[in-house]
Each structure stands twice: as structure tokens, then as C-alpha cells.
């Protein structure tokens, strides 16, 4: 069964450093998403991406964040100048369509720890 993969599974970084979280969506999917979940809290939408551009973003997704699809398979989330409060699980998801009637498939997540 096709699945979304994410690397690394755990990333530890120092405050102020830049990190890049990587995702490989399901191959025939066209819509890509990033979510985050701070420990013990709810899953929060960050950004959706389609046709090589951001289609929606939340208030969390400020200038510190950027997304990119550098090639035909990877989808990345870059966090510049990380802060302690960026520590969270980051989930990538993909879907074959949009509008909410298409299931979003989640990757296993990358746990980011900012020290």
C-alpha cells in the first residue's frame, strides 16, 4: 500500500538554527500539506500546496516557514531561526484531490526538538 514517508524521524537542533523537514508524498497525489502537533495538544494546520504554490496557510505559517517541492517526489518544510516553541511533531500529508472529500494520508511525522 502506498504511503507518505518523512525524514528524519527525529531532529534535534539548537535554537536559532535552520531545519529542513522532508516528505515524500504518495506518488500520484497532487495536494500536499504540513501540520504540526505540539506535545499534548491538537493537530494544527500549517500550509497546503498545489501546482507548485501555496494554496492556503494558517496564521502559524509566518515568514519563518517556507515550503518547496524541489523535485518530482520531495516536499519540504523549512523552518528558519528555530525557537523553543517550534518543538513539535510535524506531519506531512497528501491527497489526490481537494475540497475535503478526498482523504488526506499522513506520514509518520518528524519530531523536532529545539534546545
Partner 1 sequence: RKEVEQDPGPFNVPEGATVAFNCTYSNSASQSFFWYRQDCRKEPKLLMSVYSSGNEDGRFTAQLNRASQYISLLIRDSKLSDSATYLCVVTPTNDMRFGAGTRLTVKP
Residue 13 binding partner 1, by CB under 8 A: no
Specify the DSSP class assigned to residue 97: S
Q: Is 9 in the site for partner 1 (CB under 8 A)?
A: no
Concatenated DSSP letters for 32-85?
Answer: EEEEEE-TTS-EEEEEEEETTEEEEE-TT--TTEEEE--SSS-EEEEE-S--GG
Nearest to 11 by CA among 71, 104, 76, 61: 76
Residue 36 vs 79, nearer CB to partner 1 = 36
The number of residues that bind partner 1 (CB under 8 A) is 24
Could you say which residues in the range 28-67 bind partner 1, by CB under 8 A?
31, 33, 35, 41-45, 48, 55-56, 58
Q: Which residues bind partner 1 (CB under 8 A)?
A: 31, 33, 35, 41-45, 48, 55-56, 58, 89, 91, 98-101, 103-104, 106-109
Amino acid at each position: 500500500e502506498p504511503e507518505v514517508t518523512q525524514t528524519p524521524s527525529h531532529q534535534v537542533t539548537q535554537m536559532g538554527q535552520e531545519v529542513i523537514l522532508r516528505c515524500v508524498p504518495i506518488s500520484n497525489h497532487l495536494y500536499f500539506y504540513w501540520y504540526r502537533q505540539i506535545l499534548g495538544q491538537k493537530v494544527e494546520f500549517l500550509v497546503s500546496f498545489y501546482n507548485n504554490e501555496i494554496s492556503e496557510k494558517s496564521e502559524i505559517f509566518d515568514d519563518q516557514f517556507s515550503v518547496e517541492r524541489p523535485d518530482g517526489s520531495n516536499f519540504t518544510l523549512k523552518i528558519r531561526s528555530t525557537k523553543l516553541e517550534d518543538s513539535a511533531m510535524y506531519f506531512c500529508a497528501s491527497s489526490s484531490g481537494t475540497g475535503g472529500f478526498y482523504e488526506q494520508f499522513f506520514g509518520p511525522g518528524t519530531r523536532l526538538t529545539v534546545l
